[in-house]
Amino acid sequence: MNLERVPLLRGLEQQEIELVRSVVKERIYPKGTTIFVEGQETDGLYIVTSGLIKVFKLYKDGREKTLAILREGDIIGEVTISGSTIRSATVGAIEHTNILVISKTDLHELLRQIPGLSIRVIETLSHRLRQTNRQVEELTFLNARSRVICNLITLAKECGQTDKNGIKITLRLTHADLANLVGVTRETVTKVLSELQNSNLIQINNRQIRVLDIQKLYDEVT
């Protein structure tokens, strides 16, 4: 377990890394596995070290709303830090996923002993809050087409690999995945992606999206 590569722990002294190592436990979740469900009691902080997961809400009428797609370096269960005991959403593995778990008791003790870890956690939570605020603004002020485009831009910035042909979004998402993330119908996503591809703003190959001109994509947001 190479903890030095975990973004949340980068910059810590070796003795601090070893302190974390002494309490952390590793769990493996195959693709399609439910990691935990909304309403369950919180058992600690989860750190994604490989794979891909989605955080989502399930409604009584069967609808699903994806709140976030998380990858290597992201954390789940941040409510543990505030003392909350109940999971606020359901989490599932989109890909084969490895996760490090730090129990509530151990986490509070680590935050007390390692000031640098406390700062990194605060930075991570601040980033999550900015993402939530962005989602609220998009839902409030943008139409469905613009919300799809804004999410493509965000995915390109946060999960993109830049080369001479543009920005390849490394996540392979179905139209249904993207629809649940944006909060629109799958048909709307299909229509918008087709329009953008016909305008040579994006390229789609085997569920992988490449943004060909991100500035022109910004110009499409109304």
pLDDT at 109: 92
Residue 23 has pLDDT above 90, yes or no: yes
* Alpha-carbon dihedral angle through residues 23, 29, 33, 35, given to the nearest 10 degrees: 10
Residue 84 has pLDDT above 80, yes or no: no
Give the residue from 169, 157, 171 showing the smallest Cα distance to 202.
169
Domain of residue 28, residue span: 3-139
> Are 117 and 159 within one domain?
no
Which of 41-50, 59-68, 172-181, 182-191 is the most confident on average? 182-191
Q: Which two tokens stand for residue 61?
A: 């009428």
- Domain edge (last residue) among 85, 120, 139: 139
> Are 124 and 20 within one domain?
yes
The rounded distance, in Å, linking the Cα atoms of 41 and 166 is 44
pLDDT at 67: 87
**Which CATH number fits the domain that encloses residue 54?**
2.60.120.10
Asked whether 209 and 145 are in contact (CB, 8 A), the reply is: no
> Are 115 and 12 within one domain?
yes
Using 50, 70 and 90 to split pLDDT, how confident is the model at 150? very high
pLDDT at 91: 94
User: What's the structural domain count of the chain?
Assistant: 2
Q: What is the pLDDT of residues 103-140, one digit of tens each?
A: 988 998 999 999 988 888 888 888 878 888 888 888 78
The rounded distance, in Å, linking the Cα atoms of 83 and 104 is 9
> Are 35 and 92 within one domain?
yes
Q: pTM for the whole thing?
A: 0.79
Q: Give every CB contact of residue 118 below 8 A, 6+ residues apart in sequence.
A: 111
Residue 204 has pLDDT above 70, yes or no: yes
> Are 207 and 163 within one domain?
yes
> Are 18 and 41 within one domain?
yes
